[in-house]
Amino acid sequence: MLTGIILQAHPTIRQKITLCQWMGCDRFIWNAKCDEQKYLLAYARRYLPIGTFPPVDQKFSQYKSKELSPWLYDCPSQILRNSASRWYNTQRAFMKGQCGAPRRKRKSNKASVLLTRELFRFEKCADGVTRLFIGTKTNNIGYLSLKIHRSFAIPNSITISRENERYLVSLCYDDGVDEADLKTAEQHLEYLSQCSREELERFTIGIDRGVARPVQAGEDVYDLTEEQKKKKKAKERYIRRCQRRLSKQQKSSKRRRKMRHRLAKASTKIANIRKDFCHKTSHSIVNREATKVIILEDLNTSGMTKKPAPKKDCQSRRFLPNRRKAKSGLNRSILDKCWYQLEIYLRYKAHRAGKAVFAVPAHHTSQECADCGHTHPNNRKRQDLFSCQCCGHADHADHNAAEVIKKRAINSFLHSGTELSRRGVLLGIGRGAIHKTPAVKAACARGSEASKEKALATAVA
């Protein structure tokens, strides 16, 4: 099974300059290939019969010219070839419908270069430290200072990337774990459907993701540490200050460029705090001894964080207030809790550990009682308190939601009609975990009609 890791590099100033030049050459070839393809497509569309497409190749020697692009001769030709082949692979994937078309790259603070086997060498030196030599025999930058925080097998290629003056080496290697040995979600579901309720109760954990408490996993609460919260807050304050100053600076000035760089750096710090939280939380949840099955709620985060639609008054043709600012504040705090990132980390880590991750439909998890199943908005009087109007069950709202999620999943496992959607959501049954028969449906409909009449009667009275 392929595993990827990212190592932080600390190049010297000379090395940085050379690496930047190589990244520029890489981008030049990529953009030239994009332009060429665009031109050929336009030509074919205009002058050739319908259905004729230009050939796709990975040639790049036509861009090397002593007069027009002499700097390409300073760069190892393997880098140019790698760039062309990277573009070729992307274009082929696009033609198969697997991804978008390769686009031109902009000159920005983000860049990368792909180095294949002939351009790097991991050497075990006399002092026992592994060092990375970059370049060919005649054209190289010497040894790159690297923080190797874990062991790995020698890869076939590495990518050196730069983002906000941070240099990273990412590599991919085979860790020896056979993919065929690990169970798929369908196999997990099949096994779980044969377990008893007691067994499922014992090794299943429900996870509720929220805004006030980012993660509630069973009895445990996961949140940022006090120090991280403090650091994050300070950085956010710093970003606001920088943005105020940026707004008054002249476009394309040096100071503005510097300020943008500072902003980008501060934003990266905050993103790193979030990433750290997600990694530590997912690691802790997956490595629990007793837990074998992890249940999430199926949240459409991108849909939940959309801006509200504008409201328009038909008569006066004016826009009415639609609480957009309040919604954007909520969106920010939802996105700040990185629900989706956590889900991705949980899924891949659980898969490697041989554990299962499923999702259940998310509707009314915060209003349903974990004890009796009574669902009503009045059950949640306060943000943190859940108190059932039917049976009197009182609990912290997030803990109650985690229990509801767990209960739904267990009912789904025990139900024979449960199916798995492509996103790993348990489907085929309602949130009550049983199919509603026509008689039950009719009764529910009657009930709602009766309550409508009752409400109407009290309103009239």
Judged by the rule CB under 5 A, the positions of this chain that interact with Zn ion are 369, 371-372, 374, 388, 390-391, 393
Residue 382: helix, strand or coil by DSSP? Answer: coil
Q: Any idea which residue has 């050739």 for tokens?
A: 48
- Please answer whether residues 111 and 129 qualify as being in contact, where contact means their C-beta atoms are separated by less than 8 angstroms: no
Is 72 or 369 the residue whose CB approaches Zn ion more closely? 369
Least Å from the CB of residue 370 to Zn ion: 8
Least Å from the CB of residue 387 to Zn ion: 9
Least Å from the CB of residue 453 to Zn ion: 26
Is 297 or 368 the residue whose CB approaches Zn ion more closely? 368
Least Å from the CB of residue 392 to Zn ion: 7
Nearest to 398 by CA among 337, 313, 319, 320: 337
Is 19 or 388 the residue whose CB approaches Zn ion more closely? 388
CA-CA distance, 205 to 294, in Å (whole number)? 5
Distances from the Cα of 174 to the Cα of 5, 171, 197, angstroms? 11, 10, 39
Is 23 or 369 the residue whose CB approaches Zn ion more closely? 369
CA-CA distance, 389 to 195, in Å (whole number)? 33
Is 372 or 385 the residue whose CB approaches Zn ion more closely? 372
Q: Which residues contact 178 (CB under 8 A, 6 or more apart)?
A: 1
Least Å from the CB of residue 245 to Zn ion: 54
Tokens of 417: 């009609």
Least Å from the CB of residue 296 to Zn ion: 23
Is 90 or 375 the residue whose CB approaches Zn ion more closely? 375
